[in-house]
Amino acid sequence: MSQGPNDHGIVELSVKLGELQVTIKGPVRKAAKLLQDITSRGPPSSPAGTSETSFAVVSEAEHTSSRRSETSAEIEASFEGCPADLIADGHRLSGGPLSGQDRVRRAWLAGKWARAFSSGRSSTPNATPQLPLRSRFYAVLRSERLQRPTIYRSARSYWACVGELASSDSISHSFPSEQEAKVYFAGAGVSDFDILQ
């Protein structure tokens, strides 16, 4: 998004916590405060260690005007499949209900959706199915505070980068492994990025 909403505007914030999708729409400061309160508590009744969240910030004006004639199914059908070499490397991932290869495919698809959102093909990033694994790596595809995409190894650094959600232009995703964060960037078409603490 090229501009953040102003303090007096209306904003729509969407966050996925565990199996719940929460959307907040209202004045910027009040919506951001409520979202911060909700995300600091984490998902209700979530399995121990589950902390993955994804979110999008869309100003009301952009949300209304950015609707495209393409459906989600049409957008997803246009995505090329995950390269075989990335899928093969998935054997190193373990834990959770998905195989390592399926976790790689999941990260690739999340990256494809992030690119579609970033380019304006989609008004929101598509929700990624949750994993019952703790997120330890935070891939920031876009933020006004970054010169290029970055993977953060700490939640504290990640939040320092994306800042207040209501005024952030960031696009990001969290993952249990660095490998998945790198696949996310590959899916989004990013090959040059930083990895920071």
Tens of pLDDT, residue by residue over 161-193, are 998 767 788 999 999 999 999 999 999 999 999
**CA–CA–CA angle 163, 169, 171 (5° rounding):** 90
| Straight-line distance from the first to the last Cα atom of the chain, in angstroms, rounded to the nearest whole number | 26
Round to whole Å and give the CA distance between 191 and 91: 22
| Residue of 10, 33, 13, 30 lying closest to 22 (CA atoms) | 13
3 in any annotated domain? no
Q: Minimum mean pLDDT among 20-24, 40-44, 52-56, 124-128: which range?
A: 52-56
Residue 67 is predicted with a pLDDT of 47
157 in any annotated domain? yes
As a whole number, the mean pLDDT across the chain is 81
Q: Name which residue leads in pLDDT, 95 or 137.
A: 137
1 in any annotated domain? no
Provide mean pLDDT across the span 101-113.
97
Round to whole Å and give the CA distance between 111 and 19: 20
Per residue in 80-99, pLDDT tens?
A: 999 999 999 999 999 999 99
> Above 50 in pLDDT, residue 65?
no
Residue 125 is predicted with a pLDDT of 78
153 in any annotated domain? yes
Per residue in 46-58, pLDDT tens?
A: 454 444 555 555 4
Q: Which residues, at least 6 apart from 17, have a Cβ–Cβ distance to it below 8 Å?
A: 38, 39, 42, 43, 44, 46, 53
184 in any annotated domain? yes
Round to whole Å and give the CA distance between 107 and 82: 9
Letter for the amino acid at 123? S
% pLDDT > 90, the chain: 56
Q: Where does 60-175 show beta strands of DSSP type E? A: 137-142, 150-152, 171-175
Pairing of strands 150-152, 194-196: parallel
Structure-token pair, residue 180: 């998945």
Residue 102 burial class via C-beta count within 10 angstroms: exposed 0-12, middle 13-18, buried 19 and up = middle
Residue 135 is predicted with a pLDDT of 94
Domain that holds residue 107: 10-196
| Residue of 118, 121, 89, 127 lying closest to 105 (CA atoms) | 89
Round to whole Å and give the CA distance between 35 and 165: 8
Model pTM? Answer: 0.68
Q: Based on the structure, what is the number of domains in the chain?
A: 1
30 in any annotated domain? yes
154 in any annotated domain? yes
114 in any annotated domain? yes
